[in-house]
Structure 1
Amino acid sequence: MVPLDPVPKPIDHVLAGAPDAPALVDRAGTLSVAQAEERAAQLAGWLAAQRFAPGDRVATWLPKTREACLMPLAAPRAGLVHVPINPLLKRPQVAHILADSGARLLLTQPARAAMLEPGDSSGVAVHTQAGQGDPLPRSTADPQALAAILYTSGSTGRPKGVMLSHANLWLGANSVAHYLGLVPEDVVLGVLPLSFDYGQNQLFSTWAAGATVAPLDYLTARDVVKAVDRVGATTLAGVPPLWLQLLDADWPADTAAKLRRLTNSGGALTVRMVRSLRERFPAADLYPMYGLTEAFRSTYLPPALVDAHPDSMGRAIPHAEVMVVRPDGTSAAPGEPGELVHAGPLVAHGYWNDPERTAARFRQAPGFSQAGGTAVWSGDTVVADATGLLRFVGRDDEMIKSAGNRISPAEVEEAVMAGGEAAEAVAIGIPDARLGQAIVVVARGDASDEAALRERLKRELPNFMQPARFEWRSELPRNANGKLDRAAIRDAVRLGEGAP
Structure 2
Amino acid sequence: MRIEQFLTDSAATYADKTAIVADGPRLTYAELDDLSSRLAASLARNGVKRNDRVLIFMDNCWEAVVSVFGVLKAGATFSPINQSTKADKLTFIVEDCEPSAILTQAKLMPVVTAALDGKADIFTASTHAPEGHCPRGASSLKDCFESEVREVEHGGIDMDLAMLIYTSGSTGRPKGVMMTHRNCEAASGSITTYLENTPDDVILNVLPLAFDYGLYQMLMSVRVGATLVLERSFAFPQAIFEVIRAEGVTGLPLVPTMAAMILQMRDLQPGFLPSLRYVTNTAAALPAAHIKRLRELFPGVRLYSMYGLTECKRCTYLPPEQLDRRPNSVGIAIPNTEAFVVDDSGTPVAAGEIGELVIRGPHVMQGYWRRKEATDHALRPGPNPWERVLYTGDLFRTDDEGFLYFVGRKDDIIKTRGEKVAPKEVEAVLHAHPGIAEAVVVGLPDPVLGEAIAAFVVLSDPNLSEREIIRHCSRHLEDFMVPKSIAFRTELPKTDTGKISRRLAAEAARVAQ
Under TM normalisation by the shorter chain, which class is it?
over 0.9
Map 1:67-466; keep pairs closer than 5 Å.
67-118=63-114, 120-121=116-117, 122=119, 123-128=121-126, 129-130=140-141, 131-132=144-145, 133=147, 134-136=149-151, 141-218=156-233, 219-249=235-265, 250-251=267-268, 255-365=272-382, 369=383, 373-445=387-459, 446=462, 448-466=464-482
SS at match of 1:83: strand
Of 277-286 and 64-73, more deviation after overlay is shown by 64-73
Q: SS of the residue aligned with 2:229? A: strand
Q: Where does residue 6 of structure 2 map in the other structure?
A: 14
Contact 1:291 1:297 in 2 (8 A): yes
Structure 2 CA distance, aligned partners of 1:496 and 1:216?
36
Q: For 2:435 and 2:24, locate their aligned partners in 1 and report how far apart those are by CA, in whole Å.
A: 43
Q: Give the conservation status (yes or no) of the 8 Å contact 2:282–2:305.
A: yes
Q: 1:184 to 1:137 in 2, by over 3 A?
A: farther
Matched position secondary structure for 1:401: strand
Map of 1:474 onto structure 2 = 490
Q: CA deviation at 1:393?
A: 0.5
The structural deviation recorded for 1:155 is: 2.5
Match of 1:58 among 29, 40, 54: 54
| Alignment correspondent of 1:3 | none
CA distance in 2 between counterparts of 1:140 and 1:237 reads 35
1:138 CA drift (Å): 8.8
Whether the aligned pair in 1 keeps the contact of 2:23 and 2:231 (CA below 8 Å) is no
In the TM superposition, what whole-angstrom CA distance separates every residue of 1:270-314 from its partner, at most 9, and x where no partner exists?
A: 011101110111131000000010111100011111122110000
Query: Aligned with 1:439: secondary structure?
Result: strand
* Distance apart, 1:377 and its partner CA: 0.8
Structure 1 residues 93, 246: closer, same or farther in 2, change over 3 A? farther
Query: Is contact 2:318-2:329 (8 Å) kept?
Result: yes
Q: What residue identity is the alignment partner of 2:484?
A: A
CA contact 1:409–1:428 (8 Å) conserved in 2? yes
For 1:191 and 1:166, how far apart are their aligned partners in 2?
24
SS of 1:247's equivalent in the other structure is helix
Q: Which deviates more, 443-452 or 274-283?
A: 443-452
Q: CA RMSD in A?
A: 2.0
Give the 3 Å change call, closer, same or farther, for CA 188–139 of structure 1 in structure 2: farther
Residues 447 and 136 of structure 1, relative CA distance in 2, 3 Å threshold: farther
The 1-side partners of 2:283 and 2:385 are apart by 25
Q: Note if contact 1:43-1:135 (Cα within 8 Å) is conserved in structure 2.
A: no
Deviation of 1:178 after TM superposition, in Å, equals 0.8
Q: Distance in 2 between matches of 1:209 and 1:304?
A: 24
Q: Write the deviation string for residues 96-142 of structure 1: whole angstroms up to 9, x where unpaired.
A: 22222212211112221123454535242222132033232697622
Query: Could you tell me the TM-score, scaled by structure 2's length?
Result: 0.90
Give yes or no for the alignment of 1:34 onto 2:30: yes
CA contact (8 A) 1:225 1:251 kept: no
Cα distance between partner residues in 2 of 1:460 and 1:81: 50
Q: Classify 1:339/1:190 alpha carbon distance in 2 versus 1 (closer, same or farther; 3 Å).
A: same
Counterpart contact for 2:90–2:115, Cα < 8 Å: no
User: By how many angstroms is 1:430 displaced?
Assistant: 2.1
Question: One-letter code of the match for 2:333?
Answer: A
CA distance change for structure 1 residues 139 and 318 in 2, over 3 Å: closer, same or farther?
farther
Q: What TM-score do you get using the length of structure 1 for normalisation?
A: 0.92
Q: Match for 1:164: what amino acid?
A: M
Distance in structure 1 (CA, Å) of the matches to 2:278 and 2:154: 32
- Cα distance in 2, alignment partners of residues 253 and 469 from structure 1: 36
On the 8 A contact 1:421/1:450 being kept in 2, the answer is no
Aligned residues: 486
Render the CA deviation track for 1:44-91: whole Å, top value 9, x for unaligned: 111111122321111111122222012222212211110111112222
For the pair 1:23 / 2:19, whether they are aligned, the reply is yes
The alpha carbon displacement at 1:255 in A equals 4.2
Note closer, same or farther for the CA distance 1:371–1:173 as it changes in structure 2 (3 Å cut): farther
The yes-or-no answer on 1:494 pairing with 2:510 is yes
- Residues 138 and 278 of structure 1: CA distance in aligned 2, closer, same or farther (over 3 Å): farther
Following superposition, the deviation at residue 192 of structure 1 comes to 0.9
More deviation in 240-249 or 384-393?
A: 240-249
State the distance in 2 between where 1:236 and 1:119 align. 35
